[in-house]
Structure 1
Amino acid sequence: MKKIVCVFIMLIVVLAGCSQSTALIKEADSHKLNQKVKSFVDRNKSKNGIYLYSVAGEKEYFIVNYSTARQGEKVKFLSGIRAELREDVFTIQLDVQETSDPHDKRIRPLSIYKLNKHEETSKIEVKINGQETPIDIVGS
């Protein structure tokens, strides 16, 4: 009986963690972005990288761009994203894969996510496949 209760409690904890991650980051509809955000994305869409659009007092957006690949290079694509908030550190974890097939249906050149931090954080940390990596451009 104790084992069943423990398993049930662990399941609730895991599910609660998953729902928090979903609430912290949500894919944004690129057609519904305001002109400032669209302009920022347009200025940076020709370069691969990760970007943060941040203006004090406004919504923040996290952009993942893997739109270009040189001849013979593998194409990167985002296979998963999640976020967590621990104390005052907002962590975005990206799962990035590569393929040799430029027509692979999993490839989405540009992904835009709205951050729902709910409170001020002292740091935004980004990890790609578990490795901490800097944000390429932070702008407004």
Structure 2
Amino acid sequence: MSMRPALGAAAGAALFLLAAPVAPATADPYETVTVHPVGRIADDGTVTLSGTYRCTGGTGPVFVSSSVGQDSPSVRHGIGGTRALCDGLEHPWENTGKPSPGALKPGQARVEATLMELSPDAGIPLPRFHAVQRQDITLTED
């Protein structure tokens, strides 16, 4: 008996599960992430974004990630990630990152901050979103 068809079916099922959209978890309304209205760009191009977060529980590691875009709505630059402590209290976060040279300049920008857990459901770390904030900010020179 050949194992090839069974392996092909299993691989196909695994790909289907990976491609299938995951229903977003309902976030607790108490869980929040905010973005400070001013970000900074250093002389070397390093961008610093900040804000606050609050979350509860969590069975896996939780992070505050951030991205920023300016001229094109389809181009975003990841700006670091911070490990979050989900104890129900409000905490500050600050992320730094260095996009490609000249990618960002002082002025208006659009930031997205996400409070996301890598939940170990079914043995595979899957994202569980606690809170998301999209906000226009001003990038200033450091």
What's the TM-score, normalizing by structure 2?
Answer: 0.31
The structure with the greater share of residues assigned to helix is: 1
> Which of the pair has more CA radius of gyration?
2
**Which structure features the higher share of strand residues?**
2
